[in-house]
């Protein structure tokens, strides 16, 4: 896959609880940090206390290959019990910048509403970021670089989904 292809990764899991319980977890920004192998911690910025469209939060990340870095994310969509989407942006462009990446949780009620299909995914944005700069330095390796990053993200997303499932289903036991 190349940058021009709109690289993305998405995974899904079925959870044996109603969407309202799953929503409580995924709309809490600390949930992803509890389960993600890369996202280590988060905190609300600018006095925000919870998810509303336009609110921003900081994310602190770490992995063996990339080291440590922090990001700023802006809540882009919040459709209760259905969609929670945030965009990773440059700090100075919190209110209107193009995203480096967009992350989404999508909930779908199943059966009689007692089960939930939870999707979690990431799409690279069109802002110029560290990944694009690295690819510009190694254009002959673009597909390998993107495929490697997406594989790492897929593993993290699957781990996060498994954690959300265990948390949600454990709360009903």
Break the chain into its structural domains and give their ranges. Answer: 3-170
Residue 79's contacts (CB-CB under 8 Å, 6 or more residues apart) are none
Q: What is the mean pLDDT of residues 75-91?
A: 95
Min mean pLDDT across 41-55, 67-81, 82-96 is at: 82-96
Min mean pLDDT across 80-84, 97-101, 141-145, 168-172 is at: 168-172
Chain-centroid distance, C-alpha 17: 21
Does position 66 have pLDDT exceeding 90, yes or no?
Answer: no
Tell me how far apart the 2 most distant CA atoms of the chain are, in Å: 52
Whole-number pLDDT of residue 91: 77
| pLDDT, greater one: 64 or 153 | 153
74-107 burial: b if 16+ Cβ within 10 Å, else e: bbbebeebebbbbbbbeeeebeebebbbbbbbbb
Sheet containing strand 101-110, strands side by side: 8-15, 115-124, 101-110, 83-89, 67-79, 56-63, 39-44
Whole-number pLDDT of residue 150: 95
Q: What is the mean pLDDT of residues 63-79?
A: 91
Whole-number pLDDT of residue 93: 72
Does position 173 have pLDDT exceeding 50, yes or no?
Answer: no
Q: Tens digits of per-residue pLDDT, 92-129?
A: 777 777 899 999 999 999 988 899 999 999 999 878 88
Whole-number pLDDT of residue 171: 59
Q: Tens digits of per-residue pLDDT, 1-41?
A: 888 888 999 999 999 999 999 999 999 999 999 999 999 99
Answer yes or no: CATH 3.90.550.10 is held by domain 3-170: no
């Amino acid at each position: 896959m190349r940058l021009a292809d709109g690289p993305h990764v998405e995974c899904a899991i079925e959870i044996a609880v109603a969407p309202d319980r799953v929503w409580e977890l995924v709309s809490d920004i600390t949930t992803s940090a509890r389960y993600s192998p890369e996202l280590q911690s988060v905190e609300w910025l600018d006095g925000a206390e919870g998810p509303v469209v336009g609110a921003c939060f900081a994310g602190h990340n770490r992995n063996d290959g990339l080291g440590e870095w922090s990001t700023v994310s802006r809540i882009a969509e919040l459709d209760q019990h259905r969609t929670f989407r945030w965009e990773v942006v440059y700090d100075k462009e919190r209110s209107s910048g193009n995203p480096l990446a967009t992350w989404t949780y999508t909930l779908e009620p199943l059966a009689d509403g007692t089960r939930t299909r939870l999707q979690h995914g990431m799409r690279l944005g069109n802002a110029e970021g560290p990944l694009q700069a690295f690819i510009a330095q190694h254009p002959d390796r673009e597909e390998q670089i993107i495929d490697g990053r997406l594989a790492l993200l897929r593993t993290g997303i699957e781990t996060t989904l498994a954690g959300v499932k265990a948390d949600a289903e454990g709360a009903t036991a």
